[in-house]
Amino acid sequence: MLRVVLKFKKLDKCGKLGSYLFKGDAGLDLYSIEGVTINPGESIWVRTGLAVEIPRRYVGFIKEKSSLAQAFTVGAGVIDSSYRGEVKVCVRNLTGRKLKIKKGQAIAQLVILPFVSVKTREILQLFPTKRGKRGFGKPTT
């Protein structure tokens, strides 16, 4: 297992550092610093009161907590290592009722992964594969 140091800066006194719920977890819990109500189908940005210094050659992904995934989803979930602003979670209410998030509630997970930087090149034809253009479990016509 690769270990890196992840540095957080509190931007608000209520900010709570990302933390693992259990030893060996992949995602650090992120906590709301505000109580909010989200209408059905609505998306809002929820503040964590934290900035994070992700090491070079790593990226942060904000993902749903499985315990909340039936109620809401999160979007805009990539944090580049050069970003130093507040970590906010874009929350979309998937239910048909108002959804309440409490101040201090764990609302998402932050997963840190190494990545490969690539160069791009345009070509006229891609190398063929057996799968080809088939996607989503369905053949294309």
Q: Which tens digits make up the pLDDT trace of 67-81?
A: 777 778 888 789 999
Percent of the chain with pLDDT over 90: 72
Residue 118 vs residue 2, higher pLDDT: 118
Q: Does 141 score more than 60 pLDDT?
A: no
pLDDT band at 139 (very low <50, low <70, confident <90, very high): low
**Model pLDDT, residue 138:** 66
**Model pLDDT, residue 67:** 78
Percent of the chain with pLDDT over 70: 94
CATH annotation of 28-114: 2.70.40.10
Residue 76 vs residue 140, higher pLDDT: 76
Residue ranges of domains in the chain: 28-114
pLDDT in tens, 36-90: 999 999 999 999 999 999 999 999 999 988 877 777 888 878 999 999 999 999 9
**Model pLDDT, residue 140:** 58
- The CA distances from residue 136 to 57, 73, 129, in Å, are 31, 21, 16
**Model pLDDT, residue 132:** 86
